């Protein structure tokens, strides 16, 4: 199914998590779209798949992969791609996405999203894997920038150039995680606003918002860790306003929370702050 770019308005939604399920189901009128972690359903019981299908009939759902490792010179795992294809067909999700990361090497699962060296070689590997994924799943993925605490060693391209090379070469939309962008910029001493404006903002199909916390850096100083356990900081809402000012297309914004859950009223407040940031950008 094609990525939903035809919607005429900005949308704000939430990442589906079991801990938030009761609040989500009680407040669907205030949630435009839900993003579901696809990997949780590749081998799920039939009842869980039926529940997900029921959810998708009530609110637009996008599927978000975390384990494909498409930004790699190693060919992607076809079993995961076929699993995503089956889930997309069963759920009738409106879109799917993955990260520009690698997650395994030499057959070893490393357990988190890792940033490859930003080089033309790794960009070519990502483009080839995205093409393979598109053929198997039957629709293009939105591809997400990931957070890193340091510049990936052996990089020859800056982050904006590397992302643009992949997005242009693979002909896919960018899922722009604004907290990842913010963290990457401040961790290397860049201005987040300047990094944002170097990206192909007219290719952004969706946006992630989350929070993190500062940790001690080796040798002194601090670095920002993206952990999804904290509120979206004001600086990231300001980046969303800047994005809305410069991106002509409608945006789908997902607020992510993976723990340290506040009240659901507080979560809804985060969605309203996102809507306010979008309005501010559109009216500027």
For residue 226, which of 238, 236, 208, 211 has the smallest C-alpha distance? Answer: 211
Residue 284 has pLDDT above 90, yes or no: no
Q: What is the pLDDT of residue 134?
A: 98
Q: What is the pLDDT of residue 219?
A: 85
Q: Express the helix, strand and coil content of the chain in percent, nearest 5 each.
A: 45, 20, 35
* Rounded Cα gap, residues 174 and 124, in angstroms: 17
Kindly state the average pLDDT of the residues 83-100. 98
* Rounded Cα gap, residues 34 and 102, in angstroms: 25
Helix ranges restricted to H, the chain = 21-26, 46-58, 78-91, 120-137, 159-170, 178-187, 192-197, 234-246, 264-283
Round to the nearest angstrom and report the end-to-end CA distance of the chain.
34
For residue 20, which of 196, 267, 282, 249 has the smallest C-alpha distance? Answer: 267
Contact 281, 240 (CB under 8 A): yes
Burial classification of residue 42, based on how many CB atoms lie within 10 Å of its CB (0-12 exposed, 13-18 middle, 19 or more buried): middle
Residue 3 has pLDDT above 90, yes or no: no
For residue 137, which of 95, 99, 104, 74 has the smallest C-alpha distance? Answer: 95
Query: How many other C-beta atoms lie within 10 A of the C-beta of residue 194?
Result: 10
CA distances 47 to 92, 93, 126, 127, 252, Å, are 16, 17, 35, 36, 29
* Rounded Cα gap, residues 268 and 165, in angstroms: 36
Q: What is the mean pLDDT of the chain?
A: 95
Over residues 26-56, the pLDDT tens digits come to 999 999 999 999 999 999 999 999 999 999 9
Contact 13, 252 (CB under 8 A): yes
Kindly state the average pLDDT of the residues 237-262. 98
Task: Report pTM.
Answer: 0.95
Over residues 173-190, the pLDDT tens digits come to 999 999 999 999 999 999
Q: Kind of pairing, strands 95-99 and 252-255?
A: unpaired
Contact 252, 176 (CB under 8 A): no
Q: What is the DSSP letter of 267?
A: H
Over residues 141-170, the pLDDT tens digits come to 999 999 999 999 999 999 999 999 999 999
For residue 210, which of 273, 279, 265, 141 has the smallest C-alpha distance? Answer: 273
């Amino acid at each position: 199914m094609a990525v939903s770019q035809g919607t005429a308005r900005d949308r704000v939604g939430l990442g589906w998590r079991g801990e938030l399920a009761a609040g989500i189901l009680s407040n669907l009128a205030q949630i435009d779209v839900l993003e579901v972690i696809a990997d949780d359903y590749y081998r799920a019981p039939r009842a869980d798949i039926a529940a997900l299908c029921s959810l998708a009939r009530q609110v637009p759902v996008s599927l978000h992969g975390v384990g494909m490792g498409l930004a790699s010179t190693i060919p992607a795992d076809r079993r995961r791609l076929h699993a995503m294809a089956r889930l997309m067909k069963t759920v009738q999700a409106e879109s799917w996405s993955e990260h520009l990361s690698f997650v395994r090497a030499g057959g070893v699962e490393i357990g988190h999203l890792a940033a490859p060296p930003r080089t033309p070689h790794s960009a070519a590997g990502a483009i080839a894997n995205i093409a393979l994924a598109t053929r198997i799943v039957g629709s293009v993925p939105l591809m997400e920038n990931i957070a890193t605490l340091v510049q990936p060693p052996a990089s020859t391209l800056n982050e904006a150039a590397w992302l643009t090379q992949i997005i242009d070469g693979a002909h896919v939309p960018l899922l722009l995680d604004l907290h990842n962008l913010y963290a990457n910029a401040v961790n290397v001493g860049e201005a987040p606003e300047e990094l944002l404006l170097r990206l192909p903002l007219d290719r952004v199909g969706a946006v992630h918002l989350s929070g993190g916390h500062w940790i001690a850096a080796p040798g002194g100083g601090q670095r920002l860790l993206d952990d999804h356990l904290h509120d979206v900081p004001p600086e990231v809402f300001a980046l969303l306003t800047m994005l809305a000012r410069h991106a002509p297309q409608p945006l789908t914004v997902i607020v992510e929370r993976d723990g340290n859950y506040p009240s659901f009223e507080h979560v809804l407040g985060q969605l309203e702050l996102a809507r306010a940031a979008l309005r501010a950008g559109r009216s500027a």
